């Protein structure tokens, strides 16, 4: 099960899992884009279920997990990838900006892990992969709220991995750098941000 599978990294992850032999459940808000991902996954010969889902709404994520188990038999891998960003100076961030990013980037990961919990614990096996960001550990102006959400994902993952180890469940996070996706297009088109990320690439990249 991959959230944010409609485009970008989520689509790439879903297609890679299908190519590796997994049936996939594709979740995001855009049904049309999910159907395109499913069309591409079909070329691997694996099943691809399209499941329009808002990860900020727990009931929808809970239904998503139940459908995955009902239609595919079990839940082996959960990839919590959905993410959004608004880039602006912190002094210009509004409470709505905060809620928008926290609801998807951090609460969405909580929802994915919590809704998967009864299925994974019952079968005493499974893997959870939460997509964080290098910006959870490295500062970049304009990304304060986004970075806070990704730092939260890293902390949640570290603690949940310890808690669920006794159930045979592996919980990990990946913290990628810059990839060319719809979400990063505005950053790539901004010369100042490009300059900052090149500087960071001396030791770290950012995403």
Question: In the prediction, which pLDDT does 203 show?
Answer: 41
Check 143, 146, 164, 178 and give the catalytic one: 146
Nearest to 65, CA basis, from 12, 101, 114: 114
Question: In the prediction, which pLDDT does 193 show?
Answer: 55
143 is catalytic: no
Predicted model pTM: 0.86
Tell me: the pLDDT tens digits for 23-69?
999 999 999 999 999 999 999 999 999 999 999 999 999 999 999 99
Tell me: the pLDDT tens digits for 136-166?
999 999 999 999 999 999 999 999 999 999 9
| Euclidean distance between CA atoms 55 and 59, whole angstroms | 9
Quote the percentage of the chain above a pLDDT of 70: 86
Right CATH for 2-200 from 3.40.1410.10, 3.40.50.720, 3.40.50.300, 3.40.50.1980:
3.40.50.720
Nearest to 73, CA basis, from 143, 137, 25, 141: 25
Question: In the prediction, which pLDDT does 191 show?
Answer: 62
Nearest to 190, CA basis, from 85, 83, 33, 81: 85
Mean of all residue pLDDT scores within the chain = 90
In the structure encoding, which two tokens stand for residue 176, read together? Answer: 């990628």
| Euclidean distance between CA atoms 193 and 207, whole angstroms | 11
Host H or E run for residue 200 = helix 191-200
């Amino acid at each position: 099960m991959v959230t944010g599978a409609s485009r970008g990294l989520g689509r790439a992850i879903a297609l890679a899992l299908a190519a590796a032999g997994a049936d996939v459940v594709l979740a995001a808000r855009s049904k049309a884009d999910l159907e395109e991902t499913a069309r591409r996954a079909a070329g691997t010969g694996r099943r691809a279920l399209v499941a329009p889902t808002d990860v900020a709404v727990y009931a929808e994520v809970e239904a998503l997990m139940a459908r995955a188990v009902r239609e595919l038999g079990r839940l082996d891998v959960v990839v919590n990838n959905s993410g959004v960003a608004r880039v602006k100076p912190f002094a210009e961030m509004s409470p709505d900006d905060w809620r928008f990013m926290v609801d998807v980037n951090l609460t969405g990961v909580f929802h994915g892990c919590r809704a998967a919990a009864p299925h994974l614990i019952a079968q005493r096996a499974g893997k959870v992969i939460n997509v964080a960001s290098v910006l959870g550990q490295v500062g970049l102006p304009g990304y304060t709220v986004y970075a806070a959400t990704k730092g939260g994902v890293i902390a949640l993952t570290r603690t949940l991995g310890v808690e669920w180890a006794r159930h045979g469940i592996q919980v990990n996070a990946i913290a990628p750098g810059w990839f060319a996706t719809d979400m990063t297009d505005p950053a790539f088109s901004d010369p100042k941000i490009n300059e900052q990320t090149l500087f960071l690439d001396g030791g770290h990249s950012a995403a």
